Amino acid sequence: MRDAFVAALVSAAQSDEKILLVTGDLGFGTFDPFVKAIPERFINVGVAEQNMIGVSTGLGLEGYKVFAYSIGNFSTLRCLEQIRNDAAYHEANLTIIGSGGGFTYGALGMSHHATEDLSILRALPGITVVAPCDAWETTQAVTLLAAAKGVSYLRIEKQTPLRTGDLGIPFVLGKARRLREGRDITIIGSGGVLAHADSVAQRLAERGLSARVVSMHTLKPLDDAEILDALRDTRAILTIEENTILGGLGGAVAEVIAESGRSVPFRRLGMQDVYSSVVGSQDYLRQYYGMGIDAILDASLKLIARAA
């Protein structure tokens, strides 16, 4: 996703001289294509992420479209006051990039595990929150966010095995993408962990069950209509996110279901109300914290059984 982000930003910046890339002392090899193509629009503020958001906000208010890039927690939670009071309140043209969403930097420990950012940024008024599931969605998101107004948050990861660009399903901010059709359960996911949901759908098919798989790449504004369709067309709903279940994707979907007055068996998978205290690869931590393929499959089968 990171390489797709940079390539898409280079393309957008070559068409729009107002686009800037600001970072907090990281990603130099990753940013080489941008620096080589447009060196005068790359700004490194050093290890000072709060200042990064402050500088980016000022530039955004002066008419530039700024992409501010750092590791997930450092570009969001460390800078929350600046994002809230400076950027969002004043509706600056700023896209905050949280690289390394979820457990991407799993071996570096809790300080580098971005598992609350989606919930917290979603709670701030006026911010568009996007978590693409693969490189293609990342490219599309960058292109659209580069042309959008106001503050947005784009959470990306290093890589994901999903390749959804050939499905012929358009990418529109605020509009979910239905990657698979199914009748027994709808699995709604955000980010790279959606690849596990796709694998689970294949395993369910081997058992004679069908799963609808939905990429809810935009958590805010949320595609309420897609959730209501799932309520009407399928017998259960499961959400999966590499984020706390409190206030993130699962919470957002639960809100729509509760306010609709309808009901199906429903469950949220993600981080429970705990801090990650284990280190390891992204896949290892997904399994450890109940977001792996086996956990998604087990939860799906139990929901389907409840709906019988």
pLDDT for the residue 161: 87
- 221 preceded by cis ω (within 30°)? yes
Class of domain 172-307: alpha beta
CA distance 19 to 10: 9
Please, which residues have CB within 8 angstroms of residue 207's CB and are 6 or more apart in sequence?
none
Same fold for the domain at 2-156 and the one at 172-307? yes
* Spatial contact of 276 and 211, defined as CB atoms under 8 Å apart: no
For the chain, which residues make up each domain, given as ranges? 2-156, 172-307
Compute the chain's Rg from CA coordinates. Answer: 19
Q: Is pLDDT above 80 for 27?
A: no
Q: Is the pLDDT of residue 50 over 80?
A: yes
Q: Provide the pLDDT confidence category of residue 28 given band limits of 50, 70 and 90.
A: confident
Cα–Cα dist 306/308, whole Å: 6
CA angle 10, 15, 19 (to 5 degrees): 65
Span 73-93, mean pLDDT? 96
**What are the tens digits of pLDDT across the range 274-301?**
999 999 999 999 999 999 999 999 999 9
Task: Please say if 49 is a catalytic residue.
Answer: yes
Confidence bin at 263 (pLDDT 50/70/90): very high
**Whether CATH 3.90.79.10 fits 2-156:** no
Map residue 146 onto helix, strand or coil.
helix
- Per-residue pLDDT of 211-255, as tens digits, reads 999 999 999 999 999 999 999 999 999 999 999 999 999 999 999
pLDDT value at position 158? 87
Where does residue 15 rank: exposed (0-12), middle (13-18), buried (19+ CB within 10 A)? exposed
* Contact yes or no for 144/173 (Cβ under 8 A): yes
Q: What pLDDT, on a 0 to 100 scale, did the predictor assign at position 243?
A: 97
- 17, 40, 49, 181: the catalytic one is 49
Query: What is the band of 29 on the pLDDT scale with cuts at 50, 70, 90?
Result: confident
What are φ and ψ of residue 180, in 5° steps? -140, 145
